[in-house]
Chains A and B, each alone.
Chain A
Amino acid sequence: MFMTKKQAQLLLLAAGVLMLLFGVWRGEADTVFSKAIRLCMECVGIG
């Protein structure tokens, strides 16, 4: 292992937070919202 488990955990936690924030900044959360509040039928497998 090139890093300890603890280092890997901290790295991943940081990565997770950063990715989350970056995604929100570029508008991904709005896309999620616009799809989640509506029933895009084919997307659910109706029709």
Chain B
Amino acid sequence: MDKKKLNPLARFRGFIQAGATLLTNIHLPNFAKGTLYQGGGKYVCVPGLNCYSCPGAAGACPVGAFQAVVGSSKFRFSYYITGILILFGVLLGRFICGFLCPFGWFQELLHKIPSPKLSTKKLKPLRYLKYAVLLVMVVLLPLLAVNELGMGDPFFCKYLCPQGVLEGAIPLSLTNAGIRAALGKLFTWKACILLAVIVGSVVFYRPFCKWLCPLGAFYALLNKVSLFQMRVDTHKCVSCGACAKACKMDVDITKTPNHAECIRCGMCMKACPTDAIQYKFGLGDQSNTETTKE
């Protein structure tokens, strides 16, 4: 029997996630100084969910940036950020979630903490919640709930996003007395959300990604058309079901290779006894060997 060698991407996913988190927050000295990076990198957004109020943040948060543009008095939609997100999404789809998002990595690390683990298979309807978060909190509310000047609040950032508390509020309050003094009821609410996500991540696998993340929702919409795809070689597949069992996002890859919930983590590839599952990158439908047209 050939010794199976797992695709290097999947094999080193943890390191890639760590590296991506570091690169996304490369300005480490700022944590001690309690200041933000104010350079040109902030004109662009990073692919994952990373608060631009994080002292180390090298770029803007895509969700925050979108709301900032829509919530400004000058604009009602952001072509710039949507364009960037479409590019990210069409190129990589939810590979971004699986490999490049700091908050996704955070939840996975928490999940490694030993505890009883609960399956989310029966909670599939909750997956639709993130689309509602995307539509309502990220798009509609900043657009419609405006003051007399046409300015709207970034509702997701303000009321829901736990990443902002983890990366922004907490590090900044540690070094800045003024910010500490300003922490009020809103912070309490957000911190409780963070706590809930933390506890949830120990027990469930990536609950925020599955149920709440608007960025994940957007990339999910593009998963089916992304150039980065999953391929199941139907000749090699013996329908043993090991992949579906290994998948923590509750996807059966043999039935739906580019399912909206697939974060391309490669756990199915690891579980497959016949090495039938592969990563593919390119134009056209490469999801199974029956249709290999370019």
Contacts and interface: CB of A to CB of B under 8 A. Distances in A.
Q: Do chains A and B touch in the complex (CB under 8 A)?
A: yes
Interface of A: 4-6, 8-10, 12-13, 15-24, 26-33, 35-39, 41-47
Given A12-B225, A13-B91, A45-B164, 5 more contacts: A23-B79, A23-B82, A28-B81, A39-B168, A44-B53
Given A43-B154, A45-B161, A47-B182, A32 B80 contact: yes
A18 B83 contact: yes
B153 A42 contact: yes
Which 8 pairs, one residue from A and one from B, show the smallest C-beta to C-beta distance?
Answer: A23-B80, A19-B83, A20-B83, A16-B86, A23-B79, A28-B80, A36-B60, A36-B42
Contacts of A10: 283
B182 to A, nearest CB: 5
Contacts of B149: none
A9 B222 CA distance: 10
B interface, over-half SS: helix
Contact of A43 (B153, B184, B187): B153
Which of A4, A27, A47 has the most CB atoms of chain B within a 10 A radius of its CB?
A47
B143 interface: no
How many chain B residues sit at the interface, stated as a range, is: 35 or more
Given A31-B72, A42-B158, A47 B43 contact: no
Interface in B147-202: 153-154, 157-159, 161, 164-165, 168-169, 172-173, 179, 182-184, 186-187, 189-190
Interface string B41-67: 011110000011100010111001100
A32 B74 CA distance: 12
A35 B62 CA distance: 12
